[in-house]
Chains A and B, each alone.
Chain A
């Protein structure tokens, strides 16, 4: 056969047929995707990705004058964190909507620019650079997790921009970038933030277990990300101090979907408590695979098991999820009375957009914007140093916590995350007792 390709009519026909077939299948698939109401794990998005502009901007209130104040941020809108990214995006959008409705900031409209960082830190760096240089962001917010926030802060520092972090609790961010970052859900009381309420609760477990046995051994399976290294540095010494023995601490690659080897190892060590579930999908998979392996230690803590679809049989874990402990960084999502300013508005708008109750990630994103808006108002100007001064000295009222005050490192002085548990397909706050809506159920009993 000669090495020259002859373009014949047959070849054209072949290609045309192929293209038509691909288009048909592709179009059908696309409409299948759009038209079908996906299960609760995937909330409906009303615009298709192709026509979505690169930035998500909120129509500004006609009554507001002046140059918009631009808040830029990145979220994982694609990739593994996409599920979380969408929730956060709604939180940001609703916040900006409300603030503009209420008269803007210093009479000026607030403009939100959100870009996708795919959940990877290197994208975060370049995206943050674009947000500052191209989109002309005055202030920054986002992203998802300490690792991404750290990467964004590196760039923010270069340009002298302030950042109100939505989801960051890892200590490295606050120590390395002191003065440039505040976080609406990180608590000054707790070095490792999310896990400390669990530790106090764990100490009290003996009062509920038969025979008064105190849990002693802990197995930890966490994702290999910055936050978990901070947890390792700060929480584990506290645990060991209190007499717990860490029988296993394995770091898993972020993208792992097969936890069974690690879980088999954990099961063989017979721990009293298992800790894991860094991201939502990891929490879901961990629990599902624990069920598969018949592994039910007396206490199961999956950090990000707070989403409503966790116990939904078709979407998450199913009834076996009942009994799983998790952190509730947005207490207002379970207890309406604990919602701070505009928490009810968030709930109502979120329900309209997503068909479910507002969860923690939307709550923290909402609050991050609130803090910024209030700080700018308090400073009376958008000058970075003045706003910085206001951020670290004034008192704010956010949906997450009515009394939001930051210490010198940018973590909240008065906020405490709460420990929660799935009971009867419902989220109950179980610790600390001043806020508890139900008693913790310990030990875990699998549903038959």
Chain B
């Protein structure tokens, strides 16, 4: 394989992997922006979505792509339930808001992870790709995996969808909450409902990421934490609360990992993301988007 083909292949690998990272980060950044919470259970929710899709396929024979709408709806509902039932309660005591939500979401992550392990054991599982898709399309020696291509397409669709969403009344309300909660309240925004719905949306996004992740790689109940960390990296890199920042950061991370491995060594694949994160944090504490969502202390 010559240099150009390798470079293009590495670029594509990065973009594809980055698209999943982007969705992961988007959910987290949304939740932080509107609710000011770090959701440590996001990875666990993503993995649960992968498992839901897996069991739909195994028991009912539902095609993974068809399961996406099911996952979307059920995780949206689940997200709202979690927000209302769990997160809201821990947020109601102002002096312990951040700690309370971090701990509750961590507890939730542990809970989800261990229930899954008890029910389904810790083996790795994968979603069988649908038979009607050829594994890869070859263009001039560059292999494009159809599923990963679909994950890129889906991510782009999500981004486009978001742009429209942000222009709606709801979207505006969401943005208002991100910028200044109490002013938004004064203007008639029902903060509680916006929060809950945002959580639902974030969970639904995580659901999509889960299905895509299950299709392209193996999942087991313990993979959740690693995904949460990756998501956090992307969200912080893009600037917590910045929607487009997270999208950008996801792709940046994917590309950095892909080319980093190519030029250095596969051993440092995870290191690259963290190093970039640290560098960006030190240079520009608001992340890539340079928007500051809090006042400095």
Contacts and interface: CB of A to CB of B under 8 A. Distances in A.
Q: Do A and B come from one complex?
A: yes
Interface of A: 3, 5, 14-15, 18, 21, 26, 29-30, 32-34, 36, 38-39, 41-42, 45, 48-50, 77-80, 82-83, 86, 221, 224, 250-253, 255-262, 264-265, 267-268, 270, 281, 284-285, 291-294, 314
Contacts, number: 145
Interface string B62-84: 00000000000000000001001
Contacts of A257: 217-218, 223
A253 B269 contact: yes
B266 A250 contact: yes
Nearest to B94: A3
B9 A293 contact: yes
Contacts of A82: 121-123, 220
19 contacts: A5-B89, A26-B119, A38-B58, A49-B118, A80-B124, A80-B222, A250-B266, A252-B267, A255-B226, A257-B218, A261-B10, A261-B261, A265-B262, A268-B2, A281-B218, A291-B135, A293-B9, A293-B145, A294-B136
Nearest to A32: B55
A36 B267 contact: no
B262 A250 contact: no
Contacts of B85: 14-15, 18
B59 interface: yes
Contacts of A77: 122
B118 A261 contact: no
Contacts of B222: 78-80
Given A250-B267, A256-B269, A21 B58 contact: no
Interface of B: 1-3, 5-6, 9-10, 13-14, 17, 51, 55, 58-59, 81, 84-85, 89, 92-94, 115, 117-125, 128, 135-136, 138, 143, 145, 217-218, 220, 222-223, 226, 257-258, 260-262, 265-267, 269-270
Contact of A41 (B93, B118, B125, B267): B125
Contact of B121 (A42, A256, A259, A294): A42
B217 A285 contact: yes
A290 B3 CA distance: 19
A30 B118 CA distance: 8
A261 B122 CA distance: 26
A39 B55 CA distance: 11
B143 A292 contact: yes
A293 B1 CA distance: 12
Contacts of B6: 264-265, 267-268
Contact of B81 (A3, A18, A251, A262): A18
Contact of B266 (A15, A21, A83, A265): A265
A227 to B, nearest CB: 16
Contact of B115 (A26, A39, A48, A79): A26
Contact of B123 (A5, A21, A42, A261): A42
A79 B117 CA distance: 9
A221 B217 CA distance: 18
A423 B20 CA distance: 36
A33 B119 contact: yes
Contact of B13 (A29, A49, A255, A260): A260
Contact of A49 (B55, B121, B260): B121
A-B pairs, top 6 by smallest CB distance, nearest first, are A261-B261, A262-B266, A82-B122, A268-B6, A250-B266, A257-B217
A22 to B, nearest CB: 9
Contacts of B269: 252-253, 256, 258, 261-262
A42 B125 contact: yes
Contact of B17 (A251, A258, A294): A258
B92 A29 contact: no
A40 B84 CA distance: 40
A274 to B, nearest CB: 13
Contacts of B136: 291-294
A33 B120 contact: yes
B104 to A, nearest CB: 14
Residue among A14, A78, A252 with max Cβ neighbours from chain B (10 Å): A78
Given A14-B84, A79-B122, A224-B267, A261 B145 contact: no
Contacts of B261: 250, 261-262, 264-265
B1 A253 contact: no
Given A261-B13, A293-B136, A251 B145 contact: no
B123 A41 contact: yes
A200 B37 CA distance: 59
Contact of B122 (A78, A250, A284): A78
A30 B116 CA distance: 8
Residue among B89, B119, B120, B122 with max Cβ neighbours from chain A (10 Å): B122
Contacts of A256: 266, 269
A319 B140 CA distance: 25
Contacts of B119: 26, 29-30, 33-34
B273 to A, nearest CB: 12
Contacts of B226: 255
A267 B270 CA distance: 21
A39 B59 CA distance: 11
A270 B266 contact: no
A260 to B, nearest CB: 5
A294 B143 contact: yes
B1 A268 contact: yes
Nearest to B48: A29
A41 B220 CA distance: 13
Contact of A285 (B13, B93, B218): B218
Contacts of A41: 123-125
A3 B92 contact: yes
Contacts of A255: 226
Nearest to A260: B13
A148 to B, nearest CB: 16
Nearest to A78: B122
A281 B125 CA distance: 10
Nearest to B146: A292
Contacts of B89: 5
B266 A261 contact: yes
Given A41-B125, A78-B122, 19 more contacts: A26-B119, A29-B51, A50-B118, A78-B117, A78-B222, A80-B220, A82-B121, A221-B266, A252-B266, A257-B217, A257-B223, A258-B17, A261-B14, A261-B269, A262-B261, A265-B261, A285-B217, A293-B136, A293-B145
Residue among A39, A252, A255, A257 with max Cβ neighbours from chain B (10 Å): A257
A59 B143 CA distance: 55
B267 A293 contact: no
Contact of B9 (A3, A5, A264): A264
Contacts of B13: 260-261, 264
A293 B143 contact: yes
